[in-house]
Amino acid sequence: MSIQLQIHPSAFPQSQREHWFESLKRQVVPAQCLYESIGQASRWLAYAKAWSPIHRGKDYQGVYDRAYAAAWGCMDRRAFDYLALGCGDGYKDVSFFNHQAARALNGYLGLAEISPSLLIEASQKLASFQPEAWVVDLASAPEAFFRPSNPDNPRRLISCMGMLPTLGYQVLLPYLSRQMGPEDWLLVSANLTPSKDPESCQAILTQYDNDLAMEWYRGFLLELGLPRDSFACQASIQALESVTDGGFRIQIKARLKQDHCLSFYGHRIEWLAHTNLDLFRSERHTTQGLRQLFHQHGLACHESFESEDGEEAVYLLRRASA
């Protein structure tokens, strides 16, 4: 079975090279770099299957099932387009459609992901829906690139699972708000912190500070050509900027033990010893703080679904009334 991928201009090699170069000069690794290559996608899948709560047997699938049931109810058995932004390997999108297996999607299925290998996996899993698959850099906030199945009556369910923690609310929420039409519904997942207690934060940090996670973070630098013993990765916790009701960011930095000079598509990048590279970041919010952020970005929360441990949630949103 052949699979056709559409390449958005944001994912063209020249665009990616320019973005990478400017970011790496600032000692910041772009988020998509950790997923894009086949090796990195494989390392991420190994880490996610070992540490993602939904794979570890926690009752997180029930959270998603309740959210999916509510979203199907909002569709009211009428045709709609389903757009999956940051679909990964398609695991959650398959779960969405399995929840209502007897009901056909009468509209259009669009998939968007920066990693071609993950996008291929998602396309294979959802092949019966004949999806349109886009390799796209969502961090660049690209405007509408999916084609509506009915331009005269666009009605969409936008699914954005797992993107908020890594892209961050300051990038993702304004972008999603701009995409929302008056008939659209939006499913967004978020990682939460159940309390502001430091011990709770440290327990969450362990999910990001473990052998499989570190192998995934290191993978990108190893693919760049840095020797394994020339840097050390360290995890820490930082407060979120401009968020008053709790929340924090998991930060992974790589501290260089020696100077490095990289040749990057005709450009030279020099990193000095003791430089701290911003390698990975993931946000955690309180549910109260996140609701405030939704409101600030013109999104109204119709329903929310939280896990019993208070660490995972899915929100069903609409565009706020003027």
In a domain, 265, yes or no: no
In a domain, 227, yes or no: no
Segment 174-212, tens digit of pLDDT: 999 999 989 999 999 999 988 766 667 788 899 999 999
pLDDT band, residue 153 (cuts 50/70/90): low
In a domain, 218, yes or no: no
Residue % of the chain over a pLDDT of 70: 94
Average pLDDT over residues 285-306: 94
pLDDT at 295: 95
pLDDT band, residue 250 (cuts 50/70/90): very high
Segment 50-78, tens digit of pLDDT: 887 665 555 788 899 999 999 999 988 78
In a domain, 10, yes or no: yes
Look up residue 25 and give its two tokens. Answer: 């000069």
What is the distance, to the nearest Å, from the Cα of residue 232 to the centroid of all Cα atoms in its chain? 25
pLDDT at 101: 57
In a domain, 106, yes or no: yes
pLDDT at 102: 47
pLDDT at 107: 79
pLDDT at 196: 67
In a domain, 81, yes or no: yes
In a domain, 207, yes or no: no
Give the 3-state DSSP-derived string for 285-321, with helices as H, strands as E and coil as C: ECHHHHHHHHHHCCEEEEEEEECCCCCEEEEEEEECC
Q: Count the domains in the chain.
A: 1
Beta strands of the chain (E only): which ranges? 5-7, 81-85, 109-113, 132-135, 156-160, 185-191, 231-239, 248-256, 260-264, 267-271, 276-284, 299-306, 312-319
For residue 106, give the CATH number of its domain. 3.40.50.150
Residue % of the chain over a pLDDT of 90: 58
**Helices and strands (DSSP H and E) totals, the chain:** 10, 13
Segment 82-110, tens digit of pLDDT: 999 999 999 999 999 987 754 556 678 99
Which helix or strand (DSSP H or E) is residue 42 part of?
A: helix 38-51
DSSP 251: E
Domain residue limits at 53:
1-141+150-194+284-322
Which is higher by pLDDT, 111 or 38? 111
In a domain, 318, yes or no: yes
pLDDT at 179: 92
